[in-house]
Amino acid sequence: MDIQWIKEQVEKGNYQLKLHAVERASIRGIDPLEVKEALLDSEIIEDYPEDKRGHSCLVYGKTRVGRDIHVLCGMAYDILWIITVYEPDPAEWVNPKKRRVVK
């Protein structure tokens, strides 16, 4: 899975939000349109090729208004799956692209 493939799937509308992503986005006040915007202006910041659910990756993107969004993406049957979405927490992230090291 690479960022170009992710962006192509979003542009084609070939993506689905898992129920968990829909619920989390609603709780966190993230509109599905913001998820799409963030994915179209994004980069992969963490890759999980050995994830038990299948290859997944954490994507960082910005919405049109500059909101930082993290999107956990997976792939199944040539469909991009949005697993969860959230705004990066400064307690866990040095900046939106770099995870804070916890000792």
- Express each pLDDT in 74-88 by its tens digit: 998 899 999 999 999
DSSP sequence for 55-76: SEEEEEEE-TT--EEEEEEEEE
Interatomic CA distance for residues 43 and 73, integer angstroms: 12
Domains and their CATH numbers in the chain: 3-89 (3.30.2310)
Helix (H) or strand (E) holding 19: helix 19-28
User: Which residues have C-beta within 8 Å of that of residue 36, sequence separation ≥ 6?
Assistant: 10
Interatomic CA distance for residues 44 and 10, integer angstroms: 15
In the block, residue with structure tokens 């910005």:
62
- Express each pLDDT in 51-70 by its tens digit: 888 899 999 999 999 999 99
The whole-model pTM stands at 0.92
- Is 3 a residue whose pLDDT tops 70? yes
Q: How confident is the model at residue 30 (pLDDT cuts 50, 70, 90)?
A: very high
Position 103 scores a pLDDT of 52
